[in-house]
Amino acid sequence: MHFIKILKFLLYFKRGFQIKNIKRTYVYLFIVTAFFHTACTVGPHYKKPTIKIPSRWSNETPFTGKDAKKLSKWWTLFEDETLSYLINLAVSSNADIKKTILNLKKARLRHQISVSAKLPSVSSGAAAAATTTNLKNYSQKTELSIDASWEIDLFGGLKHQSQATAADYMTNFYNLFSAKVSLSSEIALLYIEIRTLQNRIISMNKNINLLSETIKLAKMREKAGVSSSGDVEVAIANRENSLAQLPQLRETLNNTILSLELLLEKQPGALKRLLTENAQLPSVPKKISMGIPADIIRQRPDIIAAESKLIAENARIGVSKAALYPALALSGGATMDMLASGTGFSGNILASLAASITAPLLNRTRLKNQVKIQIHEYEEARISYKHTVLTALSEVETALVSLKFIRHRILSLKNSMKAFEKALSLVRQSYTAGLTDIVSIVDIERTIITAQDTLLSSRGDELKAIIRLFKALGGGWDVEKYGTGKRKK
């Protein structure tokens, strides 16, 4: 196959031209053929690292089933139109996504350059000159030339370089999806935090109104002469303590909205109206496509990107090893001279063909060290790949554990709320009847307010844990369309 390519290259200049020394051409062909019979591609073949993956998750999974389509757009499971709108907006406007797309384009161009290096390069030129002494004595000389060169990939250096740049392209390709996965989860986490803070502020305002009712009750008893003014002051202090928490909540809410606007490349205040229309927390998804641990290798774009990086470094070992061996280059050219004068027209065609071999001599130590460096680069990529896989598995387990204990906390807080609300009703009746003091009411009110606020925060934490679980599972990109074996360039 290589012989046929070289033959075509050599005969390229023969078409339409007279090559005088045809024997020299056959000598070149013989030398090149001899090299191809003895040469071979150097460098290791890629072998995917073996990592032991558990057959099931070690922690309890509250969800079952496997639906990659739902996982690719997991945010729709929260049934919140605003959340879906913000994530779709982020993918098209985020600065990090735009930079990742540019990196992908650059990687593709580098790959195209490496592929073109395996092909012959051709250049042409033209020159003309004219002289005259009178109308009958003139001459015009025209020279046309074409030159070509071709580096023969004897030991696979160009092949491995092409493989490396192709793998680099795929690394950037999956880094783009990894960035989208991270961005969608980050947007969702900020959105849930905003809704949680809004609900905490609403709840705090309602509780402040209830505390005002306690103040009214204390004033009525003071006016009736059955309690002192101290009861009123205690009730007022309790309400002011709750009011003091509102500025901090509002400040945190404002800063969180600003963070979301920055991710979306929006001016401060651009999302204020959108985010104040509906302060309800999204619904909790009832079903999540968990799958098994082995699915993580296929679903996580960062894992696929890490393996593509490993493939690239493996190919570069071949590039560095090929540099240790001789390099063969063929070059040729053709020149056509045409002379027109008052006495007639004449022309001449010359063609040339040459082969050159270069081999490293004094710099072999440097090239060998370069091979060793590249082997270390490969080992570093292999370690990173393994760490990425283990990190992914750990993130899933962490999200499962977090979700489990958050739900236990929510259940306990709900039961606590019911008990304290009943206790508050009884204490109020006792206080109205003069059987207890205002302190008992204030203590229970404080406990209820704290429990309500903690419950709302825990509901937000539950949604955040589910979002982190979606991210850990590799949700947020179309694995069925762009996953391993279905890459679309």
CATH number corresponding to 45-118+157-325+366-482: 1.20.1600.10
- Domain positions in the chain are 1-38+122-152+326-359, 45-118+157-325+366-482
What tokens does 210 get? Answer: 């209830």
Cβ-Cβ contacts under 8 Å for 70 (sequence gap 6 or more): 76, 77, 287, 289
Give the pLDDT confidence score for residue 486 in this predicted structure: 47
Under 8 Å between Cβ of 279 and 52 = no
Cα 157 from Cα 329, distance rounded (Å): 13
The set of residues, in sequence order, having a beta carbon less than 8 Å from that of 384 and lying 6+ positions away, is 306, 309, 310
Look up residue 242 and give its two tokens: 């709750």
Cα 473 off chain centre by: 14
Predicted pLDDT of residue 344: 60
Sequential pLDDT tens for the chain (489 residues): 444 444 444 444 444 334 444 445 544 444 554 455 445 678 889 999 988 888 888 877 766 555 556 788 899 999 999 999 999 999 888 888 888 889 889 988 888 888 887 777 777 777 766 666 655 566 677 778 788 888 888 888 889 999 999 999 999 999 999 999 999 999 999 999 999 999 999 999 998 988 888 888 888 878 877 777 788 888 899 899 889 999 999 999 999 999 999 999 999 999 988 998 778 899 888 777 677 787 777 789 999 999 999 999 999 999 999 989 888 888 888 887 776 665 666 667 888 788 788 888 788 899 999 999 999 999 999 999 999 999 999 999 999 999 999 999 999 999 999 998 899 889 888 888 878 888 888 888 888 999 999 999 999 999 999 999 999 988 888 877 776 644 444
Residue 58: alpha-carbon gap to chain centroid: 28
Distance between CA atoms of 95 and 79, rounded to whole angstroms?
27
Please choose, from the candidates 206, 223, 157, 184, the residue with its C-alpha nearest in 3D space to the C-alpha of residue 83.
184
Distance CA 290, CA 270 (A): 36
How many residues are recorded in the chain? 489
- 122 forms beta bridges with 148
Structure tokens at 459: 């509901």
Q: What's residue 341's pLDDT?
A: 62
Distance CA 354, CA 168 (A): 35
Q: From CA 127, how far away is CA 138, in angstroms rounded?
A: 17
CA 91, distance to chain mean position in Å, is: 11
Per-residue tokens: 26: 């056959």
HEC profile for the chain?
Answer: CHHHHHHHHHHCCCCCCCCCCHHHHHHHHHHHHHHHHHCCCCCCCCCCCCCCCCCCCCCCCCCCCCCHHHHHCHHHHHCCHHHHHHHHHHHHHCHHHHHHHHHHHHHHHHHHHHHHCCCCEEEEEEEEEEEECCCCCEEEEEEEEEEEEEEECCCCHHHHHHHHHHHHHHHHHHHHHHHHHHHHHHHHHHHHHHHHHHHHHHHHHHHHHHHHHHHHHHHHHHHCCCCCHHHHHHHHHHHHHHHCHHHHHHHHHHHHHHHHHHHCCCCCCCCHHHHHCCCCCCCCCCCCCCCCCCHHHHHCHHHHHHHHHHHHHHHHHHHHHHCCCCEEEEEEEEEEEEEEECCEEEEEEEEEEEEEEECCCCCHHHHHHHHHHHHHHHHHHHHHHHHHHHHHHHHHHHHHHHHHHHHHHHHHHHHHHHHHHHHHHHHHHHHHCCCCCHHHHHHHHHHHHHHHHHHHHHHHHHHHHHHHHHHHCCCCCCHHHHCCCCCCC
CB atoms within 10 A of CB 79: 12
The pairing of strands 138-152 and 327-341 is antiparallel
The rounded distance, in Å, linking the Cα atoms of 145 and 329 is 20
Quote the CA–CA distance of 257 and 243 in Å, as a whole number.
Answer: 22
